[in-house]
């Protein structure tokens, strides 16, 4: 799900301190070895979530297949882009989406994937609130690498799933049931909707730039 409006320009400090996907995975593993997660809040439940998320990322890293039409769009990008993502290790949606973004970005050397921890960068996060209120992650911010002007942003999850999530919250379903339904949706979708939504936004933005 995207947020539209006047293009934003990202402060270069965020790009400079952001991590690669590999560095993020290493950080998460090192913290878990000490029973910790990213962010200021620490608990056994968050640690368990992060361990489960590592398993999810490992599985998706091995199994994700980028759709031919998505591959074509990504490989057609010529102007350098930076894909900046706000995330945390305990976030279940991030574990489903980060490996997909990594696989997509790897298809084109013009694309650089960079990850930032949300709770260390709340000033940036607060520019990308979901429904104007929630610091939901992951949040993908695609910018021109040279000017750092935003091209588009996306997140925290595919539009169909976000609508379902909002409906479940309105119905007052327990958090554990919502989480179960969310991950069931991801399992059935097999990363297709995440890929196609982002590819469509890349295609639209490329056409706009070309005009």
The answer to the question of residue 4 being in a domain is no
In angstroms, how far is CA 6 from the centroid of its own chain?
21
CATH code of the domain containing 100:
3.40.30.10
Give me 83's structure tokens. Answer: 């894909």
Q: Which has more pLDDT, 6 or 92?
A: 92
Q: What is the pLDDT of residues 6-42, one digit of tens each?
A: 678 999 999 999 999 999 999 999 999 999 999 999 9
1 lies in some domain = no
Domain membership flag for residue 129 = yes
Q: Can you give the residue range of the structural domain that contains 31?
A: 12-210
Q: What percent of the chain has pLDDT above 70?
A: 95
Residues comprising the chain, all counted: 211
Judged by DSSP in three states, 19 sits in strand
DSSP state string for 66-80: --HHHHHHHHT--S-
Give the pLDDT of residue 132: 92
**Residue 165 belongs to some domain of the structure:** yes
Of the pLDDT bands very low, low, confident and very high (cuts 50, 70, 90), residue 211 is very low
- Cα(91)–Cα(104) distance, integer angstroms: 20
Residue 52 is assigned to a structural domain of this protein: yes
Backbone angles phi, psi at 82, to 5 degrees: -115, 125
Residues near 183 by Cβ (< 8 Å), separated by ≥ 6?
92, 96
The reply to whether 181 falls in a domain is: yes
The total domain count for the chain is 1
Question: Is residue 3 one of the residues assigned to a domain?
Answer: no
Q: How far is CA 7 from the centre of its chain?
A: 19
5 in a structural domain: no
| 116 in Cβ contact with 135 (< 8 Å) | no
* pLDDT score recorded for residue 205: 85
Quick check: 2 pLDDT over 50?
A: no
């Amino acid at each position: 799900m995207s947020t539209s409006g006047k293009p934003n320009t990202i402060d270069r400090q965020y790009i400079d301190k952001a991590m690669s996907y590999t560095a993020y995975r290493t950080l998460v593993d090192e913290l878990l070895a000490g029973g910790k997660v990213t962010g200021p809040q620490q608990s056994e439940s968050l640690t368990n979530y992060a361990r489960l998320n590592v398993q999810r990322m490992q599985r998706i890293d091995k199994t994700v297949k980028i759709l031919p039409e998505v591959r074509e769009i990504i490989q057609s990008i010529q102007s350098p882009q930076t894909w900046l993502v706000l995330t945390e290790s305990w976030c279940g949606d991030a574990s489903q989406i980060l490996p997909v973004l990594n696989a997509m970005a790897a298809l084109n050397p013009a694309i650089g994937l960079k990850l930032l921890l949300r709770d260390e960068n709340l000033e940036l996060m607060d520019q990308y609130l979901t429904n104007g209120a929630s610091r939901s992650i992951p949040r993908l911010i695609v910018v021109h690498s040279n000017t750092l002007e935003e091209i588009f942003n996306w997140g925290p999850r595919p539009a169909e799933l976000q609508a379902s999530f909002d409906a479940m919250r309105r119905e007052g379903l327990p958090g554990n049931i919502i989480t179960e339904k969310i991950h069931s949706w991801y399992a059935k979708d097999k990363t297709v909707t995440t890929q196609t939504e982002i590819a469509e936004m890349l295609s639209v933005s490329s056409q706009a730039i070309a005009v």
